[in-house]
Amino acid sequence: MYVCVCRAVTDVQVKAAIQNGAETVACVTRACRAGGDCGACRGMIEDMIEDAACGSRRSLPMFPPPKAA
């Protein structure tokens, strides 16, 4: 699926940029050119960055485990 129609960049390419360390829309744009034209896709790129960050935190405990009595 195209995330950025202007630059013909797919979700796979954007996800790869994020997995390779792009933590901002500007970083994604530098990595794969998505978001570098009209800007209509920048919100979606932000959502993908946030989703990736939330996904990486899912493995962490939500609160400390109960202490053994």
Interface residues with ligand FES (CB under 6 A) are 4-7, 34-41
- Residues 8 and 29: their CA atoms lie apart, in Å, by 12
The nearer residue to ligand FES, 15 or 61, going by C-beta atoms, is: 15
Question: What's the min distance (Å) between Cβ of 38 and ligand FES?
Answer: 3
SS (H, E, C) 8-35: CEEHHHHHHHHHCCCCCHHHHHHHHCCC
The nearer residue to ligand FES, 4 or 22, going by C-beta atoms, is: 4
The nearer residue to ligand FES, 6 or 52, going by C-beta atoms, is: 6
